[in-house]
Chain A
Amino acid sequence: MSQHIVPQRTYIFVFLGLIGLTMLTTGVAYIDLGPLNTVAALVIAFSKMLLVVLFFMHLRHSGGLIRVVLLAGFFWLALLIGLTMSDYRTRSWTPAPDSWSSTAPPTHP
């Protein structure tokens, strides 16, 4: 488990990979890819995160319990962002009728 000792050069290769990806993402920001710029930036950031989690944080040699905890965290984060965005992006699909306007005087029977 966490007693597994990773060779020093593995950490150095991972670090060089991270630096390379940082230069790549910075370079891509100067090229016009339209909406793909954001996609590329996020894909690269996600790859960097995987490198850090798997090697620096030893997830590669961690037990199943820790993987489940981390996956649960990502699941709830996906719910947080996914459901919130789906709410905001679909509000305009069904405009509220004018009669629902908050400025209309309340009607009590």
Chain B
Amino acid sequence: MTEAEAHAQPAGLAHQFGDLEQQQSAATLGIWVFLVTEIMFFGGLFASYAIYRWLYFAAFEGGSHVLDIRLGATNTMVLLASSLTMALSVRSAQTGNRKATVIFLIATMILGGIFLGIKGVEYNQKFVEHIVPGLDWSPEGTVLSRLAPGGLEHAQIYFFFYFAMTGLHALHMIIGMGLLLWLVVRAHKGAFTASYFAPVEVVGLYWHFVDIVWIFLFPLLYLIGGRY
């Protein structure tokens, strides 16, 4: 074997791996381990949410009542659609269809942008109604004023959770959008083939995870208010 043959390796293969399949397995395992740490990261918030919702049940229902269920449901569907386009983008990369990969990645970014835009409208509403905990908290004009004495303070805790959980989720979305942009550039340049597409797969798994977090945030934040 000559020197040149010894170093000839498929595009995208790092030298520590035997072949592309082994590299892809390592990358997939790596992102799953990372996602488990993310489960625990968000899990801390979900656990404290469970405690405070149990302690201040009425105030949490009242706080949930203030949220706009239509915007929340719309955003859920937008995010699910972005997961679909992400899955289709990974599939296009698997089949070596460069153009479809790029188009589906861009569609995913657009849907992610719509989600963040609607989220921004919702955040703005909170400032207009003065129900931003800590910064601008005077909810006397909202339905929250019907809460029992002391309930307003507890509702403030609900909105701390609302902003912390949706804010952390939105931060993950923004990071995901950056990763998608990087993928669009690389995919457009033809960096991915039917045998080397691990980055698309890995970012896709991350994006679906962020979608799952929202799948739980939507009922826990928006739907607990008892709209009947």
Contact = CB atoms under 8 A, between A and B. Distances in A.
Say whether A associates with B. Answer: yes
Interface of A: 1-3, 5-6, 8, 11-12, 14-15, 18-19, 22-23, 25-26, 28-32, 37-38, 41-42, 44-45, 48-49, 52-53, 55-57, 62-63, 65-66, 69-70, 72-74, 76-77, 80-81, 84-85, 88-89
Contact of B223 (A25, A32, A72): A25
Interface residues of B, number: 52
Given A37-B226, A81-B50, A88-B54, A49 B29 contact: no
Contact of A29 (B69, B77, B205, B211): B69
Nearest to B51: A88
A73 B54 contact: no
Contact of B43 (A55, A69, A70, A80): A80
Contacts of B76: 22
B interface, by DSSP: helix, strand, loop or mixed? helix
A56 B44 contact: no
A77 B43 contact: yes
Contacts of A74: 39
B32 interface: yes
B179 interface: no
B212 A41 contact: no
Interface stretch (B1-9, B88-96, B139-147, B183-191): B88-96
B54 to A, nearest CB: 7
27 contacts: A1-B24, A6-B91, A14-B84, A15-B80, A18-B80, A22-B73, A22-B77, A23-B73, A26-B223, A29-B225, A29-B227, A32-B228, A42-B219, A49-B215, A55-B87, A56-B86, A66-B28, A66-B29, A69-B32, A73-B35, A73-B36, A76-B40, A77-B40, A80-B40, A80-B44, A85-B47, A88-B55
